[in-house]
Structure 1
Amino acid sequence: MNERGFQAHATTDAIERELLSFRVGGQEYCVDIMSVREIRGWTRPTQVPRAEKWVRGVINLRGTVLPIVDLACRLGVSVEDASERNVIIVVNIRQQTVGLLVDAVSDILAIAESDLRPPPEITSTTSETYIKALTIIDDRMLRILDLEAVLPNMRRDAA
C-alpha cells in the first residue's frame, strides 16, 4: 500500500489503482476495489436502538450480523428513502465487515496514481474529511472515499 492507502498495481506506464465507482445522492464516489467483498441488492435492515443516525440497522449476511451504513446520511448529502433500486456494497475495513447503502454501482475503473489529486482543505474540521483523493474521468469529478474516516469502529457504534 502507498501513502494514500491504495493497493498498487505495477504497469509498464504507471502505477494504477482499481476503484469501484457508485452514486450517492446524485454524486459519484469511489472506493478501492480491494476493500470490496461483494455487491448485494437492497435488504431491509433490522433497526438497532441507540445506533448513530447514519446506521440503518443490521442484516443477516450468511450468518454474520452486518451493520448497514446509509452513506448519503453519513456524507451529509440528500437522503432518500431506500428502495429496491438501492445497492449494498459490502466492504472490509480494519477487520470489520460493513454494508454501505448507495444509490447504484457504476463501474470498475483503473486510475493512474498520477491522476489522483488531494482534496482541497475546505471542510470545517479536518476530522470530517472523508475524501482521500479526487480524479476527473470523462469530465466527471470522482471522489475517492477514505473508508477509515467514514467508518469509525462499527462494533462500538452499532451496539
Structure 2
Amino acid sequence: MNHSHQTEVESKDSSRLEYLTFTLGDEHYGLDIMKVREIRGYEPVTKIANAPPFIKGVLNLRGDIVPIVDLRIKFNVGDANYNEFTIVIMLHINDRIVGIVVDAVSDVINMESTDIKPPPEFGVAFDSEYLFGLAPVNDDMIILLNIEKLISSHELGLFDETTMASEG
C-alpha cells in the first residue's frame, strides 16, 4: 500500500548529491562521497620503478595493494609538501581501492544536481575530461571531479602492468 509513497521519496531524493570537498593549493575540489572509503594521514609508500610521476607508490592496506596518486602532480599544481597534516582519501572505485593525496579535507556539501554547471572547455590547468562539473558554494566555486575517469585513466593501467611485471 505504501509503494507509491516510497517512489515519491526516491524521486525527490535522487537529485540531491553529497560531495566530500578538499583543497589542492588555492583550489577547492569535490568528489562523490559514496566513493570515499576512509580518510587517513599520509604514511610512507613503497616506490614502484617506472611508475608515472603522479603515482607516489603503493601501500599495503589490510592485504590490498593500493596505489597512491598525488593529485598535485597529476593536475600540475606543484609539488606536495608531505608532513603530518598531509591527507590521503581512500576511494573505492571500479572494484579497486586507490588513495589520493590532497592538501586538506574541507567539508561535506549537499546540493541539487541542477546546481552543477558543466565545466568550461578552456582555461583549466589539467585535462578537463576529469571534470564532472562546477558547483557554486557560498562565494566559492567547487571543481567536481569525475573520479572514475581519473582512476581508470591510461596511466593507472600502465601502473597495473608495471606492478604485475615487478611481481613476476
TM-score range, shorter chain: 0.7 to 0.9
Match of 1:57 in 2: 57
- The offset of 1:77, in angstroms, is 1.2
Residues paired across the two proteins, number: 150
Quick one: distance in 2 between partners of 1:41 and 1:78? 20
- Mark the CA change 1:100 to 1:13 in structure 2 (over 3 Å): closer, same or farther: closer
Match of 2:159 in 1: 157
Match of 1:88 in 2: 88
Following TM superposition, the consecutive aligned residue runs of length 4 or more in structure 1 with deviations greater than 4 angstroms are: 9-14
Q: Which runs of 5+ in 1 are unaligned?
A: 1-8
- Mark the CA change 1:79 to 1:11 in structure 2 (over 3 Å): closer, same or farther: farther
- The offset of 1:123, in angstroms, is 6.0
Q: Which runs of 5+ in 2 are unaligned?
A: 1-8, 164-168
Q: Which residue identity is paired with 1:53?
A: P
Match of 2:30 in 1: 30
Quick one: distance in 2 between partners of 1:105 and 1:64? 24
Within-5 A mapping of 1:1-159: 10=10, 12=12, 15-122=15-122, 128-151=128-151, 152=153, 154=156, 156-158=158-160, 159=163
Contact kept? 2:30, 2:145, Cα under 8 Å = yes
Q: Which residue identity is paired with 2:47?
A: Q
Taking only aligned residues, the RMSD between alpha carbons, in angstroms, comes to 2.3
Quick one: distance in 2 between partners of 1:95 and 1:87? 22
Report the TM-score when normalising by structure 2.
0.80
Quick one: distance in 2 between partners of 1:49 and 1:136? 41
Contact kept? 1:128, 1:149, Cα under 8 Å = no
Report the TM-score when normalising by structure 1.
0.85
- The offset of 1:130, in angstroms, is 1.5
